[in-house]
Amino acid sequence: MVWLFVEELNKLLEYLRKLEHIWSDEAKNPKDESGKMYAIGVSNGFRHAAIALNSIVKSYGKIQSNR
């Protein structure tokens, strides 16, 4: 049961990373400066969410290994 939870979190982590890459690419080809700044902000948001989720997955794995 626990591995299903971790697998779902890992899938979500993959999606967040893909979204970060998509928006990062969008920031490289902006139509204007405000579009570029928006894309950079969205990209950074997805990156930070992925980092936070990765930390949760790692700590959850450590908690499970201590049981």
Angle subtended at Cα 40 by Cα 55 and Cα 49, rounded to the nearest 5 degrees? 15
| Res 16: pLDDT | 95
Q: What is the pLDDT of residues 14-57, one digit of tens each?
A: 999 999 999 999 999 988 999 999 999 999 999 999 999 999 88
Do the Cβ atoms of 13 and 47 come closer than 8 Å?
no
> Between residues 67 and 24, which one has the greater pLDDT?
24
Pairwise CA distance, residues 59 & 21, whole Å? 25
Quote the pTM value.
0.79
| Res 50: pLDDT | 94
